[in-house]
Amino acid sequence: MTTTRDRLAGLLELTRPVNSLVAGLLTFIGAFVAVGASVFDPGPATNAVGAVAATVLAAAAGNAINDYFDRDIDRINDPDRAIPRGAVTPRGALLWSGALFVGAAVAAVFLPLLAIGIAAFNLLSLVLYTKFFKGTPGFGNLLVAYLGGSTFLFGGAAVGNAETSATLFALAALSTVSREIIKDVEDIDGDREEGLTTLPVAIGERRALLVAAGALGLAVLASPVPYFTGTFGVVYLVAVAPADAVMAYAAYEGFSDPTASQSRLKYGMFLAAGAFIVGRAVVAFG
């Protein structure tokens, strides 16, 4: 018998709270990279808080609705998740997701117009991805990559300077598309069972991994751009080198151990975000 405590725990689990909070943190990083220390001034700070709240709620909603649409696949790939094990009903997950989406919209409504546009597009994309595009070879991965990278872009737009966060958005998107493809390789058996034509199913695991490695290679090659454009100094260049090394190794590791590779890639992405923080901090406070 499912208790109230079990149901509440299941609803929280649907949101992937750690991942949702990390998405909010990335939005704040985008705002900080965009305007530096000014992000703590009253006006930008208010917008940054609204953007962070909108991101956390939208990410939580997206995770919940993804589990709703993936409930049959999860019975094969991950039967311990909240819906397959019976902690939350499919209808309950759908209603919970809708409430979170409404909260995200309310949090974003007073932001600058560009930020509102990004938020609206992202909310729509989350629903379309889970319903229509998740099994589309390549395109679904690209949409998730955009959504992941757009947290930085959204943060910059919220404080009125999306341009400075655009490079971080591009690097994050390239890294994310690689990680998503590697995850699809990891989940290939369940996806085939459900008839999903993901990129590895469509073109084969090795070719898909080559595409993932190519995207990571572009991210690594593009990482020095903020230094060469004069946005950040040599400290950033030194700080981003470990991130590049981790991501390059993750690309290589994907051919033998996709599970370890996509996990390692996540750390590389965090290191890259840290390099941007360091680069902006040196400019702002140095």
Residue 95 pLDDT class (50, 70, 90 cuts) = very high
pLDDT at 135 over 70: no
pLDDT at 205 over 70: yes
Q: How far is CA 5 from CA 1, 19, 88, in A?
A: 11, 22, 11
pLDDT at 286 over 70: no
Residues 8-42 have pLDDT tens digits of 999 999 999 999 999 999 999 999 999 998 999 99
pLDDT at 53: 97
pLDDT at 284: 77
CATH code at 192? 1.10.357.140
pLDDT at 116: 95
pLDDT at 196 over 80: no
Domain that holds residue 236: 4-285
Residues 62-94 have pLDDT tens digits of 999 989 988 888 888 788 899 998 899 999 999
Residue 166 pLDDT class (50, 70, 90 cuts) = confident
Residue 285 pLDDT class (50, 70, 90 cuts) = confident
Q: Looking at per-residue confidence, does 140 or 117 come out higher? A: 117
Can you tell me the mean pLDDT for 198-205?
88
Tell me what the pLDDT averaged over the chain comes to: 89
pLDDT at 59 over 70: yes
Residues 269-279 have pLDDT tens digits of 889 889 999 99
Can you tell me the mean pLDDT for 127-133?
76
pLDDT at 154: 96
Maximum mean pLDDT: which of 117-121, 137-141, 191-195: 117-121
- Give me the number of domains the chain comprises: 1
pLDDT at 1 over 80: no
Query: For residue 81, which amino acid is it?
Result: R
- pTM, two decimals, is 0.83
